[in-house]
Structures are given as C-alpha cells and as structure tokens.
Structure 1
Amino acid sequence: MLVHSDARRRWLWTAAAAVAAYALLTVAVEVTWPPLVERDAVVSAAAHRLALEYPMWRAVMSAVTRTGDTVVLLSVLAFTLGFLLRRRMLAHLAFVCAAVAASATLRLVVHALVARDRPEGMLALAAGWSYPSGHTSHFATAALLLLMLVWPLLWARWQRIALVATVGGWAVLVGASRVALVVHWPSDVLGGWLVALAAVPFALMTHAVWRNHSRP
C-alpha cells in the first residue's frame, strides 16, 4: 500500500488533530465539564422523547444500530482478512490489523479509565461503560478502512463520491442511532468517531514508515 508524500502529510495532520480533539474531549468528560454535560443531557432527553413518540423511528434506529454489532463487524473483519490473505496482499493485511488494534487500544484504555455511566432510560440493550461508544468507533474504523482499500480501485469521480456518501453516511447513522436509542451520550459518539479518525491514519502512517525502512 503506497502512500505518497502529500497524502502522507495530510493523513499525519488528520491523525494529530483527531488525537488532540480526543484528548480534549476525554478531559472534558472526565471532569464533567458543565457545558458538555448539559448539552449531552438536553440532546439525550430529546432523543428519548422522539423515540417514544415515534415507534417507527425507534425501529429504524434499532435496525441501523444492529449493523454495528460486534458479531457483524467481526464477521466482516474475518472475511476481509481472509480475502487479503488469499490474494497474498500482505501489506494490506498488516495495515488492517494495525488499524483495528490501534482503534481498540485507543478506545478500551480510555473506556476503562473514564468509566462513564450510560444515560438513564436506555431503549436498547447495552453493557459496560459509556465513553467512548464502541459501536461508533468500530463501525467508523471499518468504514475508513473500506474507503482506503477501495478508493484506489475507483477511477470515476462519481464512484468515489458514491463510496464516501454511502460508507461515511452509514457510519454517521450508526453513531446517531446510539444517541437515538439513549444508550450513549452524544459526546460518547463524538469520541468514537475521533478514535477512528486517529487510529486509522496513525496505522497507515506507521505502516508506510515501516515499509520504507524495511526495503533493501
């Protein structure tokens, strides 16, 4: 997987900005910064009322959120790794593994340290601490990986626009569904998106540097 110098610089800045934003958001969550807590409470209460008032909306959000379940994403990951291994695309395989590992580490360490409670009145089953959202970070990571793997294969502009709109839009929907079902605070979802935006570019950069240094 080749990463040109200009693209490498952009991804580096993306990862740095995401890490900085993630750190700031985590501090705000940890110290229960009043503006953040108040905004989370307002949005969560509105989402709860909307879901109870419109059962169809709740059903749609429940269907969307299931696409981000661990079983679904692990199945997709297993298929992807198997495909790359079968095609002997070992550089791509290493990149995907590094990105998944980085994303999981960034989420789980903060998840355990912050230990934030979930909102009251949850409308779907959910276990564990709230921040950052696992569904969101996992699906956003998968979406970014799909974009990076498929992007070089697409030449038409409309194809790339369709790919970004479909994959990116669904990642946003999965995150939104966690708030809509009142199983996560809005800032949990934002944290999940930032995890993916930090982990995947970081893995790409690390992999590119390793590839360059490992060449004879």
Structure 2
Amino acid sequence: MLVHTDARRRWLWTAAAAVAAYALLTFAVEITWPPLVEQDAVVSAAAHRLALEYPAWRVVMSAVTRTGDTVVLLSVLAFTLGFLLRRRMLAHLAFVCAAVAASAALRLVVHALVARDRPEGMLALAAGWSYPSGHTSHFATAALLLFVLVWPLLGARWQRVALVATVGGWAVLVGASRVALVVHWPSDVLGGWLVALAAVPLAFMTHAVRINHSRP
C-alpha cells in the first residue's frame, strides 16, 4: 500500500493531538480536577435516573455494551488475523498487531497508575479500575482498524459514508452504553476514544514507513 505524504501527515497530526489530549485528560483525572469531577458526577447521576425510570433503555444499552465484550472482539480479531495471514497480507497483519498492542499499552499503563474507582450504583457487572474504559478503547480501536482496512476497497461515495456512519456510530454507542449503565464515568469513555485515536494512527505511521522502505 502506497501512502502519500499528505495522508501520513494527517495521521501524524491525529496521533499527536490524541496523545496530547489523552495526557491532559489523564492529568485532570489524576488530580481530581473539580470541574471534571463535577461534570462526571452530574452525567452519571442523570444516566442512573434514566436507566431506572426507563427499563427498556437499560435493556437496549446492555445489548449494545455486550457487542464490545472481550470475547466478541477477540473473535473478530482472530478472524481478521487469520484472513490476512491466509491472503499473505503480512504488512497489514503487522499493522493490526501493532495497533492492538499500542492500544493495550496506552490503556493498561494508565489504568494501573491512575487506579480510579468506578461510579457508585453500577447497573451492570464490571471489574477493575475505571479509567480509561476498556470496552470503549477496544471497540474504538477495532472500529478504526476496520475503517483503515476497508476504506481503500470502497469506490462509491455512499459506501464510504455508510462505513463511517456504521463503524463510527457504533463505536460511539458502545462508549455511551458504558455511561448509560453507570459502569464508567464520561471521562473514562473519552479516555478510551483517545486511546484508539492515538494507537491506530501511530501504528499506521509505522506501517506506512515500513511499506515505503520496502519498496525498490
């Protein structure tokens, strides 16, 4: 895959902006910055009331959040890696592995260092620390990977619009479901999105450089 300089520059700026935003948000969470804490509490309280008042909403959000479960995403990852391996698309295989590894590293290190408690009154089972949201970062990473891999295969404008709407919209829904079920603070979800927005472009840049260097 040939990656033009302008495209690489856009990916670089996306990664840099996401890393900077993630660092600032993490700092705000770590020092329990009052405006952030207050806004998180307000949104979580509203989400709790909404879920209790409308049980059907809770059922829908529970169904959405299950699409981001580890078992589901690992199955999709295994299928993708197997497909790329069978097609001998080794550069793409390396890109996917690098993105997944970068996403996991960016999340797990901060996850352990910040050790943020989850909201009270959770409406679904959840274990571990709260920040950043694992469901959100995992699904957003998968969505971005799908976007990068599928986009070049689509020629019609409507196909690309449909891809962005479907993949992007579902990634937003999964993150929102974590807040709706009161298992994460809103800033946890924002952190998860930023992890994906940093990890995938960083991996893509490495992928692009390696591909270009391998060209005769």
TM value normalised by structure 1: 0.98
**Gap runs ≥5 in structure 2:** none
In 2, Cα distance between the equivalents of 1:159 and 1:212? 28
Measured in 2, the distance between the counterparts of 1:145 and 1:158 equals: 20
Shift of 1:209: 1.6
CA distance in 2, matches of 1:14, 1:128: 29
Q: Shift of the alpha carbon at 1:207?
A: 1.6
Matches of 1:188 and 1:88, distance apart in 2: 37
How many residue pairs are counted as aligned between the two chains?
216
Aligned partner of residue 119 in structure 1, secondary structure:
coil
In the alignment, what sits opposite 2:64?
64
Structure 2 equivalent of residue 152 of structure 1: 152
Would you say 1:192 and 2:177 are equivalent positions? no
Post-superposition offset of 1:127: 0.2
Q: Identify unmatched segments of 5+ residues in structure 1.
A: none
CA-based RMSD of the aligned residues comes to: 0.8
Deviation at 1:206, TM superposition (A): 1.2
Which deviates further from its counterpart, 204-213 or 86-95?
204-213
Deviation (angstroms), 1:157: 0.3
Give the C-alpha shift of residue 215 in structure 1. 4.3
Shift of 1:214: 4.1
Q: Give the corresponding residue for 1:177.
A: 177
Shift of 1:112: 0.4
Deviates more, 1:119-128 or 1:203-212: 203-212
Inter-partner Cα distance in structure 2 for 1:42 and 1:51: 14
- Deviations along 1:64-112, one digit per CA (max 9) or x if unpaired, are 0000000000000000000000011111100000000000000000000
Percentage of identical aligned residues? 93
TM-score by length of 2: 0.98
After superposition, residues 2-81 of structure 1 pair within 5 angstroms as 2-81=2-81
What CA deviation, in whole Å up to 9, does each residue of 1:147-196 have, x standing for no partner?
A: 00000000000000000000100000000000000000000000000000
State the distance in 1 between where 2:2 and 2:135 align: 30
Q: Could you list the per-position Cα deviations for residues 19-70 of structure 1 after superposition, in whole angstroms to 9, with x for gaps in the alignment?
A: 0000000000000000000000000000000000000000000000000000
Separation in structure 2 between the aligned mates of residue 30 and residue 150 of structure 1, nearest angstrom: 37
- Are 2:61 and 2:177, in contact at CA under 8 Å, matched by a contact in 1? yes
Alpha-carbon distance in structure 2 between the residues aligned to 1:74 and 1:7:
29
Secondary structure in structure 2 of the residue aligned to 1:129: coil
For residues 103 and 212 of structure 2, the distance between their equivalents in structure 1, rounded to whole angstroms, comes to 23
